[in-house]
Structure 1
Amino acid sequence: MAITGAAELLAAWEAGLGEPATGRALLLHRTARPDVAAGRLPVLPVGEREADLFALRRALFGERMQVRLECAACGADMEFDLDAGELARSLGGRTGGAFGSSAGGDGMAAGSGDVADGIAASVAAVDSAAESDGFAGGPDGSAPGAGDSSAAGPGSVVRVRQDGWDVEFRLPGVGDLAAAARSGDPRAALLARCLVSAVRDGAAVSGADLPAAVQHRIAEAVEAADPGADLTLNVACPECGQATRAELDIASYLWTELDSWARDVLLDVHLLATAYGWSEPEILALSPTRRRYYLELCADV
């Protein structure tokens, strides 16, 4: 993973303006993981993606995340802080070497030239998904690599053995969940997409033949192996003491921050270009400190 610079982040932001939430999340994930092919990102375990986005958020905007929530019981506004780095670590994310310390333009380290190519690849992946009404899969609706344990990354397959059954199941990715949600039977669709193998007393069987007890064991194993796939907050209200449960959507949170940052940077570019006649690349090449001082000088004139 490489932290991208201001120009590349602006390109990712611009590419995501016309995309739905799923497309924006994919662009953010590609920014966090340029080492992974864009087509593979939707099938990475959901918890891994969440950890990647928390690590990206920490690298770009710092550890402290301010969260506002309305109490479900009394309606009081609750404000509290979360630690993006701690959340990434708890989900098994990359908070160290790959990202490193933030530096360079706008508090972001200058990324490699591969980042711009990664953004383009992500846009292409989003376009492809839109054309197929979702994330790409096999002719039978299965995910890329379904039924092949070699296609899954290390640790992304769980194994369940019960009453003569031996089942291998790939941890679902966001693409799997999106595709399953469009099916008339989401549970069966997800099982078909992520089932790697199922054997009963030495004979291979299909997912449709798995008994309910085995399917329940699979669900438990997936939850234990990928706890970050369902990140839920349970916050006690300081006014009434009742607890409010809410899901934390890091992709939406991070996109909102990126959108605000991008608009502020473009305003800076406009003001400095008007005052000095500099081009956008020249202005973005300035450090945030130097840019701020030039803006202060413009205000003093």
Structure 2
Amino acid sequence: MAKSAAATLLQMWEQAGHCDPPSRALRLLAWALPDEDGNVLADLDLGERDWHLLRLRRRIFGPRVSGQGRCPHCGSAIEVEFDARDVQGDAPLPPAPLYTDARGRQFRLPRCRDLIEAARSQDVESAELELFHRCAVDSEHAGGADFDDIDRGLATLAAERQLQLGLACETCAGEWTLAFDSGAFLWEEIEARAMALLDDVHRLALAYGWSERTILSMSEARRAAYLERLH
């Protein structure tokens, strides 16, 4: 991480850590697009949101993405690794198409603000109903619609806008497709890195009496060199 990037990352962690997942993703999106109006960001669909969050991830941690998972066929642990530049185009996703049901009623994909509002519902059923009505282009004519049919149609549209990883298990040769959640993955990395930075600050402050600002302003290499001398 570049000089001062450590302080920026801790600020991101501090501001987004108390949020529910949809609100947290929107907070991170504001870091990804600092010059964009908040209402514009809230109206991005999840495919657009995740595209920008993967770009933010590349900016903070670089293009190489590494993680772990389990084979759904045999349960073996697997390593997942890819270069984000190989799976992400240079241009943001175009606006999402609408889904039209058998009676000609149209529904759009959920947007960031839709998930935030639905997350305030008392239960899962209420949240699903809230999303259903929010995604109806003409909510006055959404009554009597086949919820399951619309859910499947919107899920198909959403999958086309997600980053899909083709994986294979070396143990059983099973193959499957994994939808990569760039926002959730980015937050896990930010949280892990923030905890490591706080540990570094704690150790260096105890040893040398330096302030947090002084420690975080150091380059990563210089900070690591001082930490090495504490062993």
TM range (shorter): 0.7 to 0.9
Residue matched to 2:160: 227
Give identity over the alignment, percent.
34
What pairs up with 1:131-142 in 2 under 5 angstroms? none
Residue matched to 1:192: 133
Q: 1:264 aligns with which of 187, 196, 221?
A: 196
Q: Secondary structure at the match of 2:69?
A: strand
Look up the equivalent residue of 1:155 and give its one-letter code.
P
Q: Which runs of 5+ in 1 are unaligned?
A: 95-153, 199-204
Residue matched to 2:180: 248
Paired residues, what number? 223
Asked whether 1:85 is paired with 2:85, we answer yes
Distance in 2 between the 1:77 and 1:190 partners?
35
Q: 1:74 to 1:183 in 2, by over 3 A?
A: closer
Higher relative contact order (CA 8 A, sep 6+): 2
* 8 Å Cα contact 2:16-2:24 kept in structure 1: yes
Q: 1:63 to 1:207 in 2, by over 3 A?
A: same
Distance in 2 between the 1:43 and 1:17 partners?
22
Q: Secondary structure at the match of 1:172?
A: coil
Residue matched to 1:237: 169
1:162-197 deviation per Cα after TM superposition (whole angstroms, max 9, x unaligned): 98x5x6654421442462985747776444313345
Distance in 1 between the 2:23 and 2:40 partners?
14
Q: Shift of the alpha carbon at 1:282?
A: 1.9
Distance in 2 between the 1:275 and 1:37 partners?
44
* 8 Å Cα contact 2:22-2:115 kept in structure 1: no
Q: Shift of the alpha carbon at 1:156?
A: 4.8
Q: Secondary structure at the match of 1:8?
A: helix
Asked whether 1:299 is paired with 2:230, we answer yes
* 8 Å Cα contact 2:109-2:154 kept in structure 1: no
Q: 1:161 to 1:262 in 2, by over 3 A?
A: closer
Distance in 2 between the 1:262 and 1:185 partners?
35
Q: Shift of the alpha carbon at 1:252?
A: 2.2
Distance in 2 between the 1:13 and 1:187 partners?
29
Distance in 2 between the 1:15 and 1:40 partners?
20
Distance in 2 between the 1:34 and 1:221 partners?
29
Q: Shift of the alpha carbon at 1:157?
A: 5.9
* 8 Å Cα contact 2:215-2:223 kept in structure 1: yes
Q: Which runs of 5+ in 2 are unaligned?
A: none
Residue matched to 1:202: none
What pairs up with 1:109-148 in 2 under 5 angstroms? none
Q: Shift of the alpha carbon at 1:234?
A: 4.1
Root-mean-square deviation (CA), in Å?
Answer: 3.7
Indicate the structure (1 or 2) with the bigger Cα radius of gyration: 1
1:37-84 deviation per Cα after TM superposition (whole angstroms, max 9, x unaligned): 445534311001111111111111111111222122222211131222
Q: 1:183 to 1:206 in 2, by over 3 A?
A: farther
Residue matched to 1:68: 68
Distance in 2 between the 1:184 and 1:260 partners?
33
1:67-122 deviation per Cα after TM superposition (whole angstroms, max 9, x unaligned): 222122222211131222333328x549xxxxxxxxxxxxxxxxxxxxxxxxxxxx
Q: 1:173 aligns with which of 111, 120, 134?
A: 111
Distance in 2 between the 1:193 and 1:12 partners?
29
Q: Secondary structure at the match of 2:89?
A: helix
1:23-42 deviation per Cα after TM superposition (whole angstroms, max 9, x unaligned): 43233222212233445534
Q: Secondary structure at the match of 1:72?
A: coil
* 8 Å Cα contact 1:46-1:226 kept in structure 2: no
